[in-house]
Amino acid sequence: MNIENEIMANFDEISDANSVAIIGMSGRFPGAQDVEKFWKNLKEGVESIHFFEDEELIKAGVNPEFLGNPNYVKAATVVKDIDLFDANFFGFTPREAELTDPQHRLLLECAWEAIELAGYDTQTYPGKIGIFAGASVNAYLLFNLLPNIDRAEQGDVLATLMQNQHDFLATRISYELNLRGPSVNVQTACSTSLVAVHLACQSLLTGESDIVLAGGSAINVPHEAGYFYQKDSILSPDGHCRAFDASAQGTIDGNGVSVVVLKRLENAIADRDHIYAVIKGSAINNDGSVKVGYTAPSVDGQMDAIAEAIAMADIEPETISYIETHGTGTALGDPIEIKALTNVFQQYTDKTGFCAIGSVKTNVGHMDAASGVTSLIKASLALKHQLLPPSLHYEQPNPEIDFENSPFFVNTQLTPWPAQDTPRRAGVSSFGIGGTNVHLVIEEPPTLVSAPPSSRPHQLILLSAKSAPALDAMTQNLADYLQAHPQANLSDIAYTLQVGRTRFEHRRCLVCDTVEKTVQRLEKPSAQHLITHYAEAGEPGVVFMFPGQGSQYVNMARDLYHTESGFRDTVDSCAQLLQPTLNLDIRTILYPSSEETPDTAAQQLKQTAMAQPALFVIEYALAKQWMEWGIMPEAMIGHSLGEYVAACLSGVISLEDALRIVAVRARLMQQQPAGSMVAVSMPHQELEPMLDDALSLAAINTPDLCVVSGPTEAIEQLIALLEQQGTDATRLHTSHAFHSAMMDPVVDALVAQLQAVELQPPTIPFISTVTGTWITDADATSPQYWANHLRRTVRFSEGISTVLQKSKQVFLEVGPGRTLSTLTKRHAAASDKTVLTSLHPPKEYQPDVSFLLNTLGQLWATGVSIDWSAFHGAEQHNRLPLPTYPFERQRYWIEAQVGSMSDNGAESKSVSMPKPLHARPLLKSDYAAPSSEMEKELVDIWQNLLGIQQIGIYDNFFELGGHSLLATQLLAKVTKVFLVELSLQQLIDAPTIAEFAIVIQQALLEAMEKMSEADAQKLLAKLA
C-alpha cells in the first residue's frame, strides 16, 4: 500500500482525532439571561432590540437635547442586570466588585456556568483547563470609574486598572476557577471570540489543554441609551439589522456575553459528555493591505479563511447545508461575504440554492467581541435541535448579491433541518475590523448510546452552596428541572452532581430511587429524607467503630453483597479463607438460600463459633468498601471482637491470619461452660465493689453503663440485688460469660495459636480497649495481649473518651446495627460530633444500599472527601447540563458623572462622588465598635477600601476579603494618615483593627524616641 492509500485508509480515524466537541455553553444576551431562553427567542423569530420612550432615556441620563435630533436613534440592545454581581461567591470585596468592568464580571459568571453545564469541577479535574477570551472597549472605566478616582491615591488608580484592563480578563477567570492551562487574552475586534475558539481548538489538538473555555464579552456603557446615525457607517438609521436585504443600511451595537467549553471529540465521547456540536475544522487569517481601506472587508481574505477551514475539516462544501454568517447588514459587507462564500463553494460544486444562511445580528445586534461565539452557539443549537431559526427582516436581496446563481438562500422562517447522506453541517464566519477573518466548520453531535442501567436501585443526590438561601434556591431549581424532565436518568443526574460540582460549606443530600420521589422530597424537605449540614473549613477525620458479638443477624448487608462488587469480592475472599478452619462456607449462614430456612441460619449465627467469624467478615468487608470510596479512617476503635478488625485493617495481622485466629478464638470460647451477662446502669466505680470473685466487670461502655459477666447463678443473684436497689439491669442474650474468669482456659490455647502469627506495628492508630488508650507497638505485636484481650474488661468508655479529645471528627460504626453509635452518643464529649452507622439494626429493615448511600451522603455533608471515581467503578454515566449555581447577585456600580458646561463653554471641574458602602458580611467575629480615635480612623480607612460598612475592631482583614494587593493599598493609606511605614508581615500578624492599632502606636513611639523633642511635637501636631 502506497503512502497516499494508507493516509486515505486511516482518514476516518484522523478526522475524529482532529475534531473538537462543544460540551458546554453559557451566555447573557439581549432579552435572554441564558442559552435556553436565547434559543427560544431565536426559534420564535424575536428581535431583541429595545426602542426607548423619551421618558426612559431622560431617566437614564441621556441629554434631552439629543431626543429631538433626527439622527439620534432611540434603540439599543439591553442585557438585564449588568450592574449586579455575586461578589461574595468569587471572593471580591464590595469595593473590588464596583471597580471591576462589568464585562469581566459577567464573563466570569458565564465561565463558571459553562463549566458546570459541561459537568466538570475545576477544583478536582486532574487535567489542564485553559481559557481564550476577549472583551470590547471598556466604557465603564472611561465614563464611570476614571472621573471618580482620587488621583492623589496612586493605589486607587492601579487597583482600578487591575480590575479593568483586558490583560487581566482571562487570567482573573483562571484564578477564580482554578484553571491551570493556557490563559490568553484575545483581541481581534469583531472576530475576537471566534478567534478565541480557533486558538482553543489548537490548544486542545496539540495536547496543551484537556478542556478549554473560549468566549467574549461586550457591554456598552451607558447601557440604556440610543446612538447617533452617520451615513455609510456600520450602524443602521432605524435600529434594525436587515442582513442581505435590499434595504439594509447597517446593524446595531449588541450587548452580551457568550462562552463555550471545548474538548477533544474522542475524549468527550469516552467521558460521555453532553455534546452540542462538533468542530471539524477552523482557520484564521488577515486581509493584509490589498483592499480599499483598513476597516474594509476583503473577498480574498474571507475566501482564504473559509477555504482553509473546509480543507481542515476535510469535507465537501456541498455537505454544508447552513452558514451562520457575519451578516452585519451593510451595503458593502454583505455582498463581499456572499461573493467569498460563493467563490469557495463553486470551486467544488455547481449546485445552487442548497445552503441556507442566516445572521444572529438580525436578532440581537452586533455583539462585537462576543459576536463570534454567539453565532457559534446559535449554529450549534440549530444542529442539536435539527431546526433552522429564521433570519429576520429579509424581503428581497441586496442588488449586489446574486443568490439565484449561488449555493445560498436566506432562511426566513423556522425550518426543520432535514437529514442527508452525511451528518448535518454548518459553517460559522466572523470577520473583524482590521481584517482578521475566522471560519469554522461544525457538524451535528454523534448519537450517544445510553449508558447501561445503574446496578444501584437508589441514587445519592448532592447539593452544596456558599449560603443557606443559595442552597434553597439550588434545591428548588433542581426540582423544577426534574419536573420539566421526568424521563431524565436519575443515575446520570446523581453522577453529574457528584463529579461535576465544586463543594461548598452549605450541603444537602438525599437518597431516592425515582425522579418522581426526588421531586417530592426536594419540594417538601423533611429531616428524614433531606439532610442539610454545614461543613466547616477543613476536612474532618473519620473514626471507624467496630461492634462486637451480639449485633449480628441473618442477611446482614445482603443487598450490598448483590449490588456492590467490591463488598462482594471481599466477602467471597474471606469465605474462601475461612473454609478450611470452619469446614463450611460462611456465606451459607450469612445469606441462606431458599432451600435453607432463615431460622436455621439464625440459630447457627447465635453460636459464638459462627457469629464471630461472620461479624468479622461483614465488618472487614464494609471497612474495605468505605476505604475503596476514599473514606480512610484516621483512627479506629473496636468493641471486643471488633478490635481484631481494627488490627487487621491497620496491618497488625494479615487477613488470612486474622480470619483463622478469630475462628479458632470463637470455637475455643464456645467450648467453655455456659454463662450469662447483664447490662447495669451504674458507674463502674460503684458497681465493682458489689462483685464477688465469681463475677467480672466485662465492659465499661459509658460512664454509667457497664456489663457484668459470670456464672448464671451468680448473675441472677446480682440482678436480684440490683432490683432491690432500684437499679436497671438487663439480661443480655448470650450463651457464654465473655470477658470473665470463665474464659481463662482459652488464654493459653490462644497464645499458642498467636505465637505462630507474624504481628506488625499498626499503621493506623486504634484504641486498645484493654487499656482504654491508644494501642502501643508492644501490645499490638504481643500474642499475650491478644490472648488476654478476650478475658480483660472492655474499656470502651475510656477508649472512646480518648478519641473524643480530638476535634473535627465523624464517628462511623462499621458493622450491623447502632450499638456503638448509641454508646458513643452517651458521652458528653460527643454532643457536637456526627455519629453514623453503616447497616440498619435487625428489627428496623431498610434497603441496605439506600441505608449505606444515606450514610455516605451524611459523611460528604460533614466535609468528608469521597472518591467518586472509585464509587462508580466501571459503571458508565452521562454528564448532563443540569441547573447551575444560583448566584446571589447584588448591585455593585459606580454611577457615571454627568459633565456640565460653564457659561464660557469650559467644562466645570468634576467632583468625585462618595463611594457607597455595603452591608457587613457574616463573620466569625461579632461587631465591636472602635473605642479610640486611632481605631475610628482605621475603621474609616478599612471601610472605604473594602466598601463594607460597620467593620468592627475584631474583624479580620483577610476574612473581610482582603488580599496582598489590598493590603498594599491599606499600608499606603496608613502611612499617609499616621506617618509610619509598616510591613505586610505586620498586618498579617495583626489582622484586626484592635491589633493593628497597637502596632501603629508602638511604631509611633519608636519613631518619636529617635526624634528631637521639637520634631516629636511636630509629629503629634500632624497626627492631631
Give the whole-angstrom CA distance, residue 873 versus residue 867.
10
Q: Is 640 a catalytic residue?
A: yes
Contact assessment for residue 375 and residue 323, using Cβ atoms and an 8 Å cutoff: no
Active-site residue identified among 240, 274, 326, 739: 326
**Buried-exposed string 172-181: b where 16+ CB fall within 10 A, e elsewhere:** bbbebbebeb
Q: Is 166 a catalytic residue?
A: no
**Which residue's C-alpha cell is 463611594?**
915
Active-site residue identified among 640, 650, 709, 801: 640
Active-site residue identified among 104, 240, 274, 366: 366
Concatenated DSSP letters of 100-152: S-HHHHHHHHHHHHHHHHTT--TTT--S-EEEEEEE---HHIIIIIGGG--TT
Give the whole-angstrom CA distance, residue 73 versus residue 315.
44
**Cβ neighbours of residue 309 under 8 Å, at least 6 residues apart?**
281, 282, 283, 427, 439, 440, 441
Contact assessment for residue 819 and residue 551, using Cβ atoms and an 8 Å cutoff: yes
Bridge partners of 76? 50
**Cβ neighbours of residue 908 under 8 Å, at least 6 residues apart?**
899, 900, 901, 902
Contact assessment for residue 243 and residue 327, using Cβ atoms and an 8 Å cutoff: yes
**E strand or H helix that includes residue 463:** strand 459-465
User: What would the grid cell of residue 10 be?
Assistant: 486511516
Contact assessment for residue 145 and residue 89, using Cβ atoms and an 8 Å cutoff: no
Give the whole-angstrom CA distance, residue 767 versus residue 789.
12
User: What would the grid cell of residue 811 be?
Assistant: 464517628
Give the whole-angstrom CA distance, residue 744 versus residue 742.
6
Q: Which residue type does 58 have?
A: I
DSSP state of 682: S
**Which residue's C-alpha cell is 457464654?**
736
Q: Before 592, cis peptide (omega within 30)?
A: no
**Which residue's C-alpha cell is 457559534?**
376
The count of other CB atoms within 10 Å of the CB of residue 290 is 8
**Which residue's C-alpha cell is 447497616?**
839
Three-state SS across 396-436?
CECCCCCHHHCCEEECCCCEECCCCCCCCEEEEEEECCCCE
The count of other CB atoms within 10 Å of the CB of residue 984 is 12
- Please name which of 586, 565, 567 lies closest in space to residue 577, comparing C-alpha atoms: 586
What are the counts of helices (DSSP H) followed by strands (DSSP E) for the chain?
A: 40, 32
Grouping H, G, I as helix, E, B as strand and the rest as coil, residue 704 is: coil
Active-site residue identified among 190, 509, 512, 706: 190
Strand 506-512 relative to strand 767-768, pairing: unpaired
Strand 425-431 relative to strand 436-443, pairing: antiparallel
Q: Which long-range contacts does 1012-1020 make (Cβ < 8 Å, 24+ apart)?
A: 1019/979
Q: Is 191 a catalytic residue?
A: no
Give the whole-angstrom CA distance, residue 444 versus residue 321.
12
Give the whole-angstrom CA distance, residue 460 versus residue 336.
56
**Cβ neighbours of residue 92 under 8 Å, at least 6 residues apart?**
85, 100, 961
Contact assessment for residue 182 and residue 130, using Cβ atoms and an 8 Å cutoff: yes
User: What would the grid cell of residue 721 be?
Assistant: 440485688
Give the whole-angstrom CA distance, residue 107 versus residue 369.
12
- Please name which of 183, 155, 182 lies closest in space to residue 167, comparing C-alpha atoms: 183
Q: Is 918 a catalytic residue?
A: no
User: What would the grid cell of residue 634 be?
Assistant: 484516621
Grouping H, G, I as helix, E, B as strand and the rest as coil, residue 590 is: helix
Q: Which residue type does 711 have?
A: P
Which sequence positions are flagged as catalytic?
Answer: 190, 326, 366, 640
